[in-house]
Amino acid sequence: MTELILASTSRYRAEMLSRLRLPFSSAAPLVDETPHPDEPPAALARRLAKTKALAVASQNPGSWVIGSDQVAEVHGAPLGKPGTAEAARAQLTAMSGQEIHFHTAICLSNGSEHLQACDLTRVQFRTLDAAEIARYVEAEQPLDCAGSFKCEGLGISLFEAIHSSDPSALVGLPLIPLSALLRQAGYRLP
Protein backbone atom coordinates (compact mmCIF):
# COMPACT_ATOMS: atom_id res chain seq x y z
CA MET A 1 0.00 0.00 0.00
CA THR A 2 1.27 3.47 -0.86
CA GLU A 3 2.35 5.54 2.14
CA LEU A 4 -0.31 7.99 3.29
CA ILE A 5 0.77 11.30 4.82
CA LEU A 6 -1.37 13.94 6.49
CA ALA A 7 0.06 17.36 5.59
CA SER A 8 -0.77 18.79 9.00
CA THR A 9 0.45 18.78 12.57
CA SER A 10 -3.09 19.40 13.83
CA ARG A 11 -4.00 16.85 16.47
CA TYR A 12 -7.67 17.41 15.57
CA ARG A 13 -7.12 16.36 11.97
CA ALA A 14 -4.94 13.41 13.00
CA GLU A 15 -7.66 12.20 15.39
CA MET A 16 -10.24 12.48 12.60
CA LEU A 17 -8.07 10.62 10.06
CA SER A 18 -7.37 7.81 12.55
CA ARG A 19 -11.10 6.97 12.41
CA LEU A 20 -10.54 5.53 8.92
CA ARG A 21 -8.09 2.97 10.35
CA LEU A 22 -5.48 3.51 7.67
CA PRO A 23 -1.81 3.78 8.66
CA PHE A 24 -0.52 7.31 8.10
CA SER A 25 2.18 9.70 9.20
CA SER A 26 2.00 13.47 9.63
CA ALA A 27 4.25 16.19 8.28
CA ALA A 28 4.20 19.97 8.62
CA PRO A 29 3.44 21.56 5.23
CA LEU A 30 5.25 24.88 5.94
CA VAL A 31 3.27 27.09 3.55
CA ASP A 32 2.30 30.75 3.60
CA GLU A 33 -1.39 30.90 4.48
CA THR A 34 -1.86 34.59 3.66
CA PRO A 35 -5.02 35.16 1.61
CA HIS A 36 -4.62 36.72 -1.83
CA PRO A 37 -6.31 40.13 -2.27
CA ASP A 38 -10.08 39.69 -2.77
CA GLU A 39 -9.76 35.88 -2.62
CA PRO A 40 -13.13 34.35 -1.66
CA PRO A 41 -13.03 32.16 1.49
CA ALA A 42 -13.94 28.92 -0.35
CA ALA A 43 -11.23 29.54 -2.98
CA LEU A 44 -8.72 30.26 -0.20
CA ALA A 45 -9.54 26.97 1.54
CA ARG A 46 -9.17 25.01 -1.72
CA ARG A 47 -5.91 26.73 -2.66
CA LEU A 48 -4.35 26.18 0.76
CA ALA A 49 -5.41 22.52 0.92
CA LYS A 50 -3.76 21.88 -2.44
CA THR A 51 -0.66 23.95 -1.58
CA LYS A 52 -0.20 22.00 1.67
CA ALA A 53 -0.59 18.64 -0.09
CA LEU A 54 1.88 19.61 -2.82
CA ALA A 55 4.44 20.96 -0.33
CA VAL A 56 4.59 17.62 1.49
CA ALA A 57 4.23 15.50 -1.67
CA SER A 58 7.29 17.20 -3.18
CA GLN A 59 9.34 15.90 -0.25
CA ASN A 60 7.79 12.40 -0.34
CA PRO A 61 7.73 11.05 -3.91
CA GLY A 62 5.40 8.10 -4.40
CA SER A 63 3.26 8.90 -1.36
CA TRP A 64 -0.33 10.09 -1.29
CA VAL A 65 -0.63 13.28 0.78
CA ILE A 66 -3.76 14.76 2.35
CA GLY A 67 -3.85 18.54 2.54
CA SER A 68 -6.73 20.23 4.32
CA ASP A 69 -7.68 23.76 5.21
CA GLN A 70 -10.68 25.39 6.80
CA VAL A 71 -11.71 29.00 6.37
CA ALA A 72 -14.56 30.58 8.29
CA GLU A 73 -16.59 33.17 6.38
CA VAL A 74 -18.29 36.06 8.13
CA HIS A 75 -20.27 38.40 5.85
CA GLY A 76 -18.18 37.28 2.86
CA ALA A 77 -14.79 37.83 4.55
CA PRO A 78 -12.40 35.11 5.78
CA LEU A 79 -11.92 34.66 9.50
CA GLY A 80 -8.77 32.87 10.62
CA LYS A 81 -7.42 31.42 13.84
CA PRO A 82 -7.50 34.01 16.63
CA GLY A 83 -4.08 33.38 18.21
CA THR A 84 -4.93 35.38 21.35
CA ALA A 85 -7.75 35.34 23.89
CA GLU A 86 -8.60 38.94 23.01
CA ALA A 87 -8.96 38.07 19.31
CA ALA A 88 -11.02 34.96 20.19
CA ARG A 89 -13.44 37.07 22.24
CA ALA A 90 -13.71 39.58 19.37
CA GLN A 91 -14.42 36.81 16.83
CA LEU A 92 -17.11 35.24 19.00
CA THR A 93 -18.68 38.64 19.62
CA ALA A 94 -18.85 39.22 15.85
CA MET A 95 -20.42 35.78 15.32
CA SER A 96 -23.02 36.11 18.08
CA GLY A 97 -26.49 35.57 16.62
CA GLN A 98 -25.06 35.13 13.10
CA GLU A 99 -24.90 32.29 10.59
CA ILE A 100 -21.26 31.58 9.76
CA HIS A 101 -20.05 29.51 6.81
CA PHE A 102 -17.10 27.15 7.20
CA HIS A 103 -15.37 26.02 4.00
CA THR A 104 -13.31 22.87 4.61
CA ALA A 105 -11.27 21.80 1.62
CA ILE A 106 -9.22 18.66 1.10
CA CYS A 107 -6.72 17.68 -1.55
CA LEU A 108 -5.30 14.20 -1.96
CA SER A 109 -2.17 14.40 -4.09
CA ASN A 110 0.73 12.20 -5.11
CA GLY A 111 2.51 15.15 -6.70
CA SER A 112 1.12 14.61 -10.19
CA GLU A 113 -2.52 13.70 -9.54
CA HIS A 114 -4.73 15.94 -7.39
CA LEU A 115 -8.13 14.83 -6.09
CA GLN A 116 -10.10 17.60 -4.38
CA ALA A 117 -13.32 18.26 -2.49
CA CYS A 118 -14.74 21.11 -0.41
CA ASP A 119 -17.47 20.97 2.23
CA LEU A 120 -19.67 23.88 3.28
CA THR A 121 -20.93 23.82 6.84
CA ARG A 122 -23.32 26.52 8.04
CA VAL A 123 -23.29 27.23 11.77
CA GLN A 124 -25.99 29.30 13.45
CA PHE A 125 -24.56 30.89 16.59
CA ARG A 126 -26.93 31.70 19.37
CA THR A 127 -26.87 35.22 20.83
CA LEU A 128 -23.93 35.33 23.23
CA ASP A 129 -23.22 37.90 25.92
CA ALA A 130 -19.74 39.12 26.88
CA ALA A 131 -19.64 37.06 30.09
CA GLU A 132 -20.52 33.81 28.25
CA ILE A 133 -17.86 34.50 25.65
CA ALA A 134 -15.21 35.25 28.28
CA ARG A 135 -16.06 32.08 30.23
CA TYR A 136 -15.91 29.98 27.09
CA VAL A 137 -12.56 31.35 25.90
CA GLU A 138 -11.08 30.91 29.38
CA ALA A 139 -12.40 27.35 29.70
CA GLU A 140 -11.42 26.00 26.28
CA GLN A 141 -8.64 28.29 24.99
CA PRO A 142 -9.69 27.90 21.30
CA LEU A 143 -6.80 30.03 20.05
CA ASP A 144 -5.71 27.60 17.30
CA CYS A 145 -9.20 27.06 15.85
CA ALA A 146 -10.78 28.95 12.95
CA GLY A 147 -13.78 30.75 14.42
CA SER A 148 -12.53 30.54 18.02
CA PHE A 149 -14.39 27.41 19.09
CA LYS A 150 -14.01 23.65 19.40
CA CYS A 151 -17.26 22.04 18.27
CA GLU A 152 -16.05 18.66 19.55
CA GLY A 153 -15.91 20.16 23.05
CA LEU A 154 -17.70 22.92 24.95
CA GLY A 155 -17.96 25.03 21.78
CA ILE A 156 -21.04 23.07 20.74
CA SER A 157 -22.94 24.99 23.45
CA LEU A 158 -22.45 28.23 21.46
CA PHE A 159 -24.68 27.08 18.59
CA GLU A 160 -28.35 26.92 17.77
CA ALA A 161 -27.81 24.64 14.76
CA ILE A 162 -25.26 23.11 12.41
CA HIS A 163 -26.12 22.39 8.78
CA SER A 164 -23.71 20.16 6.85
CA SER A 165 -23.55 17.10 4.66
CA ASP A 166 -20.56 15.88 6.71
CA PRO A 167 -20.55 16.26 10.51
CA SER A 168 -16.77 15.68 10.65
CA ALA A 169 -16.03 18.70 8.42
CA LEU A 170 -16.41 21.28 11.16
CA VAL A 171 -13.54 19.67 13.08
CA GLY A 172 -11.32 20.30 10.04
CA LEU A 173 -11.23 17.09 7.98
CA PRO A 174 -14.40 16.07 6.10
CA LEU A 175 -14.24 12.29 6.26
CA ILE A 176 -17.09 11.50 3.86
CA PRO A 177 -15.50 13.13 0.78
CA LEU A 178 -12.02 12.12 1.97
CA SER A 179 -13.11 8.47 2.05
CA ALA A 180 -14.35 8.79 -1.54
CA LEU A 181 -11.06 10.35 -2.66
CA LEU A 182 -9.04 7.64 -0.89
CA ARG A 183 -11.07 4.91 -2.60
CA GLN A 184 -10.50 6.70 -5.93
CA ALA A 185 -6.74 6.61 -5.20
CA GLY A 186 -6.88 2.86 -4.56
CA TYR A 187 -7.18 2.64 -0.77
CA ARG A 188 -9.51 -0.05 0.54
CA LEU A 189 -12.11 1.19 2.96
CA PRO A 190 -15.23 -0.65 4.06
Is 166 marked active-site?
A: no
For helices 85-95 and 130-140, the axis angle rounded to 10 degrees is 130
Alpha-carbon distance 167 to 121, whole Å? 8
Exactly one of 32, 69, 119, 129 is catalytic; name it.
69
Residues pairing with 10 in the sheet: none
Q: Under a CB-based contact definition with an 8 Å cutoff, are residues 185 and 108 in contact?
A: yes
Of 188, 183, 169, 22, the C-alpha closest to 101 is 169
Which residue(s) pair with 149 in the sheet?
none
- Active site (catalytic) residues: 69
